[in-house]
């Protein structure tokens, strides 16, 4: 692949990753089942939205004798009732991330060095600052998870003996692979831009394309 086309393709890939899931909320059920519950992309975080995951349909609640099973339709209905009331805050600062990437993409095609490298460098540093801030603060889905303590009565129930030996449902969050790929791609783009700035008369002196 022509090295001149690598940087803009990298930036387009970062834009696509902005719409991919960045964080996932996982639930540990009464019988220690682990399953994906909610996911949120950076775009959804900026708008205060999220996705409910179909992985919940895999949850089976069985007691020690292997006889008790809560109907999956009931589990889905009860979780849907919780999600109906759950509205995480929006993170509008994240909208600056794709805007900065778009500016860098336009500059990569519109300008020649050294203007191109300067504009792209500033735009990518802004994108890096936004990404770093939300990496430190977390996305709203992770920082404002559903409150299962309030809604515990709506959760599927197991028999009293089994419930006494298992903790109530717990939530934990984790970053998804697109989040880490965004970090890697953005740092690579900044590195390529700095290289071009240091060598404006090199192979990549002209516009991309």
Domain ranges of the chain: 3-198
CATH architecture, range 3-198: Up-down Bundle (1.20)
The reported pLDDT for the residue numbered 201 is 62
For position 145, what pLDDT does the model report? 74
DSSP string, 59-119: -----TTS-----HHHHHHHHHHHHHH--PPP-GGGGHHHHHHHHHHHHHHH--TTHHHHH
- Is the per-residue pLDDT at 166 higher than 70? no
Output the pLDDT for position 209: 42
pTM of the model: 0.75
Q: What does the pLDDT read at residue 84?
A: 66
């Amino acid at each position: 692949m022509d090295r001149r086309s690598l940087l803009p393709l990298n930036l387009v890939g970062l834009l696509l990753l902005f719409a991919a899931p960045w964080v996932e909320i996982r639930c540990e059920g009464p019988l220690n089942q682990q399953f994906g519950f909610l996911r949120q992309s950076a775009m959804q975080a900026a708008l205060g939205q999220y996705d409910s995951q179909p992985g919940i349909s895999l949850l089976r609640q069985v007691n020690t004798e292997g006889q008790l099973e809560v109907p999956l339709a009931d589990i889905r209905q009860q979780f849907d009732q919780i999600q109906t009331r759950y509205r995480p805050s929006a993170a509008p600062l994240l909208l600056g991330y794709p805007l900065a990437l778009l500016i860098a993409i336009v500059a990569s095609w519109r300008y020649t060095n050294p203007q191109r490298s300067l504009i792209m460098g500033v735009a990518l540093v802004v994108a890096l600052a936004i990404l770093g801030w939300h990496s430190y603060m977390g996305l709203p889905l992770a920082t404002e998870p559903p409150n299962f303590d309030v809604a515990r009565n709506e959760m599927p129930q197991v028999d009293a003996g089994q419930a006494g030996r298992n903790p109530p449902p717990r939530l934990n969050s984790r970053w998804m692979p697109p989040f880490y790929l965004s970090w890697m791609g953005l740092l690579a783009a900044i590195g390529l831009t700095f290289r071009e700035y240091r060598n404006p008369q090199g192979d990549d002196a002209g516009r991309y394309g």
